[in-house]
Structure 1
């Protein structure tokens, strides 16, 4: 049986053929065996035979730093890479896929989707990414990082250009929440709307710290008024995606989202009262059509009712308000448990409004550093100091 010509070993090229072209230039050509076994023809040109040969060898060496797949090649476009990458994201939530697709279709592809993978440089990506608005830059970076990791893993590029791109510089805003003094004023403002559902949701979030999707997705089975104390156990959150529409999914935003929350008296009163009116429906806060309220609609109600003084308040601000109160009283770890965070550092950084009135340490310090009995003058000063003012301040601060 006749044998064919032995195959060129992986990662090498065959005989180099050089031919003269018009104008005194030369073309070098060979067949290169890629690491995936595929053989490709490679050409290069130069002013001399030696220049053309050296250029061809350099091109082959560069090509061996990457390899083609059945779908993508080293010269595929960024758009092709992103299309292949998004197809691998089958385990993410549908709404997350929507965010990825928005970044791809609205920002990345219009900007440089036609560039070939071997043309994309870290310098280009870094410059472009840093120029994006902070609100979308982080999500875009997540998409690009994931896509180019896949390209590197498949051998389409020799190294990941996103590995050295700087993180998007997002300026951390100072946490703003309602103070203890502002809470009753804000509640009075909201009550002017006459929208009972809005009023109850606002009070319920202030009392429990639930996310918007969690509170609007509450059903009666989430509440156990017979427990001592009464408990709320979160069972998921409302989400929207182009794939599934507006639904309640059975898992929360984080792994710590499924949590029990003790219901304060104001929350118990809301649930008890609404049970008499809406008990025949599944949801505690139904829309006029007897369905789950869309978060966009609730946000519009809140904007219309909050007034000029509280135009900065969102449902997220209400979560921060309870988070700050609980953190002052019980510490950031307990606040993280209530808010459904997996790490209390997030709670401290994003949900805790700093205490600008001073931490009430007076009683603590006085207990360990008592005044000397040999100092009657100092004792007189302490006696003349109205201790009730400090205790009042402490009480207000700790609430």
Structure 2
């Protein structure tokens, strides 16, 4: 009966002997990751030292496997390999976010560690610190680290992904905030008066931001979708006027703002009917348009989303509406439609694949008061004094 083969990545009995020079040599057969067995040797001044050296080599061989990465490879190197792998497979904005998470959050904290040192405990401590620092971002950091360690796992540099085994992060429940009708009026007044008062610096106010706010409140589009509108996407000759969301503007580090010929998601490709006031805005702008873009710079290029964000921050700073961002306009539209027509209609307007995302992140729900109806009804049963 033949001797059973060693399992992949394991070794047999270690034998040691003393050679004529006085050194000790230890050896054992190691079953390699290609299925073959090979003898591994090590030496030392004593039998125990030689066996220790050999065991270290065998453990290293078992952990390295046949991958390009090793347990001694720094985590930072693996992170850069992951970024190189995903480049070209995700959008520029997503790649920018991955780079930010890897280079600003993960590498400065644990990038010097070797892959073999990134244990479940190390990951747990790191993610707990991230959760205390920025709870809303910690889950994104965890996701990025999970992908980085998955690269190490594929290269046989580690035996399990420590991020997958780490404790789950606490969920951050952020209630969607939407503008009330009164706040919409206040915000529009603030936008209209921006840089118009005495002592204000900067160029005279234009109509671009006001039109952007009104058009977003009439459509619920993402900022990149609104600023990426082209005249070819709009049919002004029908009633109601129709706008097709066929793409979006993309911002990425080191790359000029550019148009992506598809929305953020497949369900984002949609056609919206405009109310009369929004149609009037587009007709006015079309009459003086000198560019293919609805919102164009003087040079004819599309306006950058970051400029709209910056101006918004200037307008709402130190006011009761300082929590408002352009994205809040989108949530306001979702909340309004959901209350009148239901969550499904809101999801379709916003370009979501289903109402669950819309319901969780975009629709502001009224708080539920405790049921005290029975107590209150007693007032009508007891004699009034």
| TM-score range for the pair, normalised by the shorter chain length | 0.7 to 0.9
Tell me, in whole angstroms, the C-alpha distance in 2 between the residues paired with 1:182 and 1:126: 43
> 1:100 is matched with which residue?
98
Residue 88 of structure 1: SS of its match in structure 2? helix
> 2:69 is matched with which residue?
72
1:214–1:238 Cα contact (<8 Å) kept: yes
1:221 maps onto 2:232 in alignment: yes
> 2:324 is matched with which residue?
313
1:283 maps onto 2:293 in alignment: yes
Residue 181 of structure 2: SS of its match in structure 1? coil
Deviations 1:236-270 (A, max 9, x none): 11112236431011122222111111111111011
> 2:163 is matched with which residue?
162
1:207 maps onto 2:218 in alignment: yes
Structure 1 residues 86 and 333: CA distance shift in structure 2, 3 A: same
Structure 1 residues 300 and 158: CA distance shift in structure 2, 3 A: closer
Tell me, in whole angstroms, the C-alpha distance in 2 between the residues paired with 1:124 and 1:26: 38
Tell me, in whole angstroms, the C-alpha distance in 1 between the residues paired with 2:269 and 2:231: 16
Structure 1 residues 47 and 326: CA distance shift in structure 2, 3 A: farther
> 1:182, CA displacement in angstroms?
2.5
Gaps of 5+ in 2: 1-5, 195-204, 370-379
Pairwise CA RMSD:
3.3
Match among 54, 73, 78 for residue 81 of structure 1: 78
Residue 251 of structure 1: SS of its match in structure 2? coil
2:30–2:58 Cα contact (<8 Å) kept: yes
> 1:192 is matched with which residue?
193
Tell me, in whole angstroms, the C-alpha distance in 2 between the residues paired with 1:40 and 1:270: 80
1:260 maps onto 2:266 in alignment: no
Structure 1 residues 262 and 18: CA distance shift in structure 2, 3 A: same
Structure 1 residues 170 and 195: CA distance shift in structure 2, 3 A: farther
Tell me, in whole angstroms, the C-alpha distance in 2 between the residues paired with 1:72 and 1:344: 43
2:69–2:156 Cα contact (<8 Å) kept: no
Structure 1 residues 256 and 52: CA distance shift in structure 2, 3 A: same
Tell me, in whole angstroms, the C-alpha distance in 1 between the residues paired with 2:277 and 2:39: 73
> 1:40, CA displacement in angstroms?
8.6
Structure 1 residues 15 and 349: CA distance shift in structure 2, 3 A: closer
Structure 1 residues 128 and 315: CA distance shift in structure 2, 3 A: same
> 1:113, CA displacement in angstroms?
1.9
Tell me, in whole angstroms, the C-alpha distance in 2 between the residues paired with 1:356 and 1:129: 32
> 2:311 is matched with which residue?
301
Residue 284 of structure 2: SS of its match in structure 1? helix
Residue 163 of structure 2: SS of its match in structure 1? helix
Tell me, in whole angstroms, the C-alpha distance in 2 between the residues paired with 1:352 and 1:9: 56
Deviations 1:137-188 (A, max 9, x none): 2332222111222322332211111111234435222221111232223222
Structure 1 residues 184 and 106: CA distance shift in structure 2, 3 A: closer
Residue 333 of structure 1: SS of its match in structure 2? helix
Question: What is the aligned length?
Answer: 348
Structure 1 residues 32 and 53: CA distance shift in structure 2, 3 A: same
Q: More displaced, 116-125 or 196-205?
A: 116-125
Structure 1 residues 248 and 60: CA distance shift in structure 2, 3 A: same
Q: More displaced, 125-134 or 300-309?
A: 300-309
